A and B are shown apart, each in its own frame.
Chain A
Amino acid sequence: MLDKSIQEIHEALKNKMIKPIDLVEEAFDRIEKNKELNAYITLNKEEAIKRAKELENKEVGNNLLFGLPIAVKDNIITKNLKTTCASHILENFIPIYNATVIEKINDNDMIIIGKTNMDEFAMGSSSRTSYFGAPKNPWNKEKISGGSSGGSATTIAAKDVLFALGTDTGGSIRQPASYTGIVGMKPTYGRVSRYGLVAFASSLDQIGPMTRNVYENALLLNIITGADEKDLTSADKESEDFTRLIGKDIKGMKIALPNYFMSDIVTKEIRTEVEKAKKILEENGATVDYIDMKYLDKVVILYQIISMGEASSNLARFDGIRYGYSIENPKNIEDLYLETRKNGFGKEVKRRIMVGSYLLSGENAKIYYNKALSIRDDIKKEFDKVFKNYDLIIGPTTTTTAYDLTDSMDDPSKSFMDDVLVIPVNMAGLPGLSLPIGFGKNHMPIGLHIIGNSFDESTIYQLASFLEKQVNLDLDPRKDDKNV
């Protein structure tokens, strides 16, 4: 049933051919079969079954998402359901509150199936910094799923469920989406409430939908957006139907393709696929212009300063006093802090806390952090300039396809360079989506990155769904010989 279209599933539910429990059981069967992929940290079995049964007494109505299972990245707070951030320090943390997005998911009668694997505190780009081991790419189990939302990408790519939530601070939705051949959207900063998202870098973090196709992506975004009085950075925007432009013609659309995105930092096979997409767009009445944009090559370093600076402060609260892991019999308060944080955090997290603390230390705050913030405004202005003349910006999502799980993790800047093409979007607070457009060697998925103007997710979906139809890929790894 879970391979059918959302409309078919909805009709079946409506006509009482199936019940929500059937979907939940099917999802758990699939997750069990795909256990090896390590997509989940915690499954919500009992509660999901209970919820599914409760929903049997409820009118299905016109809610296409009614009764559908959803996977949630494990840095989004779920009441009564363990939320670990893939860290030892929160290994047994059971919150007594819900993130705002979780409230919205519950209000829309979706069923949380489990909490997905990720990089520890979302710090990484291969999900290998997870305390619980890395998830595996369903297209090739030797490969990474990307990160930090690697578990959510994995479970969608493996067809366990139709819907997942990820979070994206510097590409953490779009990059794994690209590596696993799914659709991942990072909405405009402020579009989705961050209340209950365990903060990594507050000024960059954003929750977004990860799905098997564009339409379902827009459907999920429809229910998670909206101003939230609990999050002062959430935008005061009217709710809108993000599917409304899907299926519309793209004739006359003006699209920019920055030269930097097509430079030799990107592998040839990926550039070829982007060129193919460009051609399709042009054949269908859109114009695609190569343009020059300033700052794109400088963004990673600025991102590191801002994200690590904020992270060092955001993660200070994990001190072993009020919740989470705490060492036994500390000698004194200093000992409690040091030992709890030394044992509780993984290597990458500690590295970023230390670098971030240094960056904010004394005069450094002015030299680095404040300066990075001001250049960030310039980056935003650079994008604004482009959007005066163009509807959308496109480029590849990643520089390579997914690499081997065994590749070295010794170079700390590698994980940032993986995200060089997606980070500018976070820095400018813009929406961006990754859409599968082809395959590289060994049949690993390649994604196209579509960037929109602030709060213009709808136009991204319009173009994405158009291309999706045109390229018409078979995105089922189960049919891939090696993975049967």
Chain B
Amino acid sequence: MSNYIPTIGVEVHCELKTNTKIFSNSVNGYGQMANSLTNVIDLGYPGTLPTLNKEVINLAIKAALILNCKIRPKMHFDRKNYFYPDNPKNYQITQAETPIGYDGYVEIDIDGKKKKIEIEEMHIEEDTCKSTHRGTKTLLDFNRAGVPLIEIVTKPCMESGEEAKLYLEKLKELLFYSDVSDCKMEEGSMRADANVSIRKNISDPYGTKAEIKNIGSISNVKLSIEKEIERQAKLYDNGEIFLPQTRRFDDKLNDTVLMRVKETGNDYRYFPEPDIPYVYITEKQIAEVRKTIPMLPDERKEKYQSLGISEVNAKKLVQNRSLSDYLNEFLDEKIDFKTASNLLLGDISGYLNKNEQEIINTHLTKEKFIELTNNISDGTLTSKNIKEILDTVMESDKNIKEIIKETGIQNITDSSAITEMIKKIIKENPCSVADYKAGKDRAIKYLMGQIMKESKGSLNPKMAMDILLEELNK
């Protein structure tokens, strides 16, 4: 197979996390009984008119800001006319001429370098209803009809499936963190289409384009793009040509499948929606929305690392937004953040997973968390202690001091007692001591293990280690 340069553009539809639909006051919800979240407006009954949900405009402004887009101060909606059963009015209200956001970008890290994925435009539109095909019949669920969407369209600026994957991961993280969307691809609240073409030289015009529609997961986006590049390359290698077409990714075949060859330019008969007047967006409104944007993942990671949290832990925290949000409450406190992050990602995460709970729903108050962290870093509590008391910490209103008292934890914090014990261990293990002196680090680990065993885990390992080294080096 010869070498080709792929050109990839991605279109993403995201459902906005609003309480109600975009053009009616029906509830915007997922997983409810079919057609229970509809009214005459969503169903396109005669004489009904759209209203405009202000929440949608604000969330779209938020998304535009996060995606570094310019925001249009005056915009309107357009009608996209086409007949399809999932389209109740047989026109979709969208923004063709004046998308709310344009000329933005998202930054990704690829091969250790930063790359800006350019965003052509971002517009608001309504979702269609959901159709389920049963044999020769099609069932329609209008709960989704009129759910607000933003469509984010990149420039044809990506060159690999990996780039597209990284872009989507970043996009998802950003939109999820800012509460713009749930971004659940499996529930359809985030959907991606990829446009793929290849060409021989950068100076050549773009090759024939194939659009892969409605890909179900980010990993499949990468895979389907790679498969599509391969397919096109084989065709070109064999001297074959093909027409612009729409394809889909088939999970089972693990390849893209032809849906239809594109007809000469779809005619959607766009025209300005006469039922919705111009929408004006003021600088003031943009400023208000800007205030609602929380600290975003990249900024969080940076902040965490600056507080002494390891890169791995910083990444893990950002992946678990509720823990990250929880930790953000303490950023101004003087605590040992390394310990705090270990605690959150270790025992606390374990507890939450086991009990299927969110951290904010537990009894782990800010005060208790700080107390707990401090007790670990000053050696008052060992990791064994934490395991013993964690359930009580998470489930009762008692403070840590009370819990320690009740549980009867008495750790050996008297250094002379510890020294006595360590001296005893050294005496009993002359071989290890000799190994240590011969430079074998393994010996230390063994000796520490013996010490912890002797103390039944009730002493602070750091303290024990310090004393052990002191004794050995005497």
Query: What chain A residues lie within 8 Å of B265 (beta carbons)?
Result: 362
In the complex, A77→B88 CA distance in Å? 18
In the complex, A90→B45 CA distance in Å? 11
In the complex, A90→B48 CA distance in Å? 15
- Contact indicator per residue, chain B 44-83, by CB within 8 Å of chain A (1) or not (0): 1111111110000000000000000000000000010101
Asked if residues A202 and B269 are in contact (CB atoms below 8 Å), the reply is no
Query: What chain A residues lie within 8 Å of B140 (beta carbons)?
Result: 321
Q: How far is the CB of B420 from chain A (nearest CB, A)?
A: 81
Asked if residues B277 and A319 are in contact (CB atoms below 8 Å), the reply is no
Asked if residues B49 and A231 are in contact (CB atoms below 8 Å), the reply is yes
Query: What chain A residues lie within 8 Å of B89 (beta carbons)?
Result: 316-317
Q: How far is the CB of B316 from chain A (nearest CB, A)?
A: 47
Interface of A is mostly: loop
Given A316-B89, A333-B85, A97-B274 contact (CB < 8 Å): no
In the complex, A209→B406 CA distance in Å? 82
Contact of B90 among A76, A95, A196, A316 (CB under 8 A): A316
Query: What chain B residues lie within 8 Å of A97 (beta carbons)?
Result: 40, 45, 48
Contact of B46 among A310, A317, A321, A370 (CB under 8 A): A317
Q: How far is the CB of B129 from chain A (nearest CB, A)?
A: 10
Asked if residues A360 and B52 are in contact (CB atoms below 8 Å), the reply is no
Query: What chain A residues lie within 8 Å of B272 (beta carbons)?
Result: 373
Interface centre among B49, B50, B90, B265 (most CB of A within 10 A): B49
- Contact indicator per residue, chain B 239-281, by CB within 8 Å of chain A (1) or not (0): 0000000000000000000000000010101111011110000
Does B43 sit within 8 A of A, measured CB to CB?
A: yes
**Residue ID in chain A nearest B276 by CB atoms:** A232
- Contact indicator per residue, chain A 86-114, by CB within 8 Å of chain B (1) or not (0): 00001001011101000000000000000
Given A313-B91, A313-B271, A319-B83, A199-B47 contact (CB < 8 Å): yes
Asked if residues B81 and A321 are in contact (CB atoms below 8 Å), the reply is no
Count of B residues near A, CB < 8 Å? 31
In the complex, A199→B40 CA distance in Å? 15
Query: What chain A residues lie within 8 Å of B277 (beta carbons)?
Result: 232-233
In the complex, A48→B46 CA distance in Å? 24
In the complex, A83→B40 CA distance in Å? 15
Given A202-B275, A310-B274, A317-B267 contact (CB < 8 Å): no
**Residue ID in chain A nearest B97 by CB atoms:** A370
**Residue ID in chain A nearest B80 by CB atoms:** A313
In the complex, A32→B454 CA distance in Å? 108
Q: How far is the CB of A148 from chain B (nearest CB, A)?
A: 16
Please tell me the size bucket of the interface on A.
35 or more
Does A257 sit within 8 A of B, measured CB to CB?
A: no
Given A322-B88, A365-B270, A232-B49 contact (CB < 8 Å): yes
Asked if residues A316 and B83 are in contact (CB atoms below 8 Å), the reply is yes
Given A316-B83, A321-B85, A232-B275 contact (CB < 8 Å): yes
Which residues A55-109 have CB closer than 8 A to chain B? 75-77, 83, 85, 90, 93, 95-97, 99
Which residues A14-44 have CB closer than 8 A to chain B? none
In the complex, A76→B46 CA distance in Å? 9
**Residue ID in chain B nearest A195 by CB atoms:** B49
Asked if residues A360 and B269 are in contact (CB atoms below 8 Å), the reply is yes
Query: What chain A residues lie within 8 Å of B274 (beta carbons)?
Result: 201-203, 233, 310
Q: Which 7 A-B pairs have the closest CB atoms?
A: A316-B90, A360-B269, A202-B274, A203-B274, A77-B47, A196-B47, A198-B46
11 further contact pairs, Cβ within 8 A, besides A75-B47, A90-B46, A232-B275? A229-B51, A232-B50, A309-B271, A313-B79, A319-B90, A321-B85, A360-B81, A360-B269, A362-B265, A365-B269, A370-B271
- A-side residues, CB < 8 A to B, are 75-77, 83, 85, 90, 93, 95-97, 99, 194-199, 201-203, 229-233, 309-310, 312-313, 316-319, 321-323, 333, 337, 357, 360-362, 365, 369-370, 373
A-B contact pairs, 18 of them (CB 8 A): A83-B46, A95-B40, A96-B40, A97-B45, A99-B47, A196-B47, A202-B274, A231-B49, A232-B52, A310-B271, A312-B269, A316-B83, A321-B140, A322-B45, A322-B88, A323-B45, A360-B81, A360-B270
